[in-house]
A and B are shown apart, each in its own frame.
Chain A
Amino acid sequence: SAVISQKPSRDICQRGTSLTIQCQVDSQVTMMFWYRQQPGQSLTLIATANQGSEATYESGFVIDKFPISRPNLTFSTLTVSNMSPEDSSIYLCSLGGGPAHTQYFGPGTRLTVL
């Protein structure tokens, strides 16, 4: 199965700044997703990262706040813009397209906003 890495693994940021999270896969994949896991909560899908076109955002998430890039089939970035303490979460990328719609997750980026 594909190896998924995320950078950074964790970060502590100041309010009002932005952080870009990278997701790298060791093989080409068609479907990549970005999720947010707020403290003590389940995972919520932010968007589907589409290669060569704009990401598809879920209700409640907008491109200005969470811009996503997907320049090729092995890499994607998620930026958390103009951060506030409410953005403190774990952000995970995942790969889809497996049998039975299975998704495989990266190790996550733990973000704390002060």
Chain B
Amino acid sequence: GEDVEQSLFLSVREGDSSVINCTYTDSSSTYLYWYKQEPGAGLQLLTYIFSNMDMKQDQRLTVLLNKKDKHLSLRIADTQTGDSAIYFCAEWVNYGGSQGNLIFGKGTKLSVKP
């Protein structure tokens, strides 16, 4: 079945870059997403990338997609303490027509040390 894997923890120092990695299994995924969940809050959509792209940049965020290896990464430049959160990778799995589901990884907890 479909599966999305992420490392569970990442710790960085303030001002450094963070790179959060994700692998997925469904080669037919058309879209991949990064969500952020702060303590006690719901999920916030950060960005998404279409599968025919290999990079997308949005301010401090850079998404890299290696479709051959089914590997997605999220780079956060100049990481701040406010970036401390759990980051979820997700893929859109198409079941036919417009039907499908979002499949989520277990999330990577990013800790930013001052």
The chain A residues found within 8 Å of chain B, CB to CB, are 4, 6, 40-45, 58, 92, 94, 100-108, 110
Contact = CB atoms under 8 A, between A and B. Distances in A.
A45 B50 contact: no
Given A42-B107, A101-B102, A92 B48 contact: no
B13 to A, nearest CB: 25
A19 to B, nearest CB: 18
A35 B101 CA distance: 11
B48 A105 contact: no
A30 B42 CA distance: 20
Nearest to A4: B42
A102 B44 CA distance: 11
Interface majority SS (helix, strand, loop, mixed), chain B: strand
Given A101-B31, A104-B45, A45 B102 contact: yes
Contact of B48 (A42, A100, A108): A100
B43 A92 contact: yes
Contacts of A108: 41-42
A41 B8 CA distance: 10
A104 B107 CA distance: 17
Nearest to B93: A101
A79 to B, nearest CB: 20
B106 interface: yes
Given A104-B45, A107-B42, A108-B42, A42 B31 contact: no
B24 interface: no
A45 to B, nearest CB: 6
A101 B45 contact: no
B49 to A, nearest CB: 9
A100 B4 contact: no
A31 B112 CA distance: 36
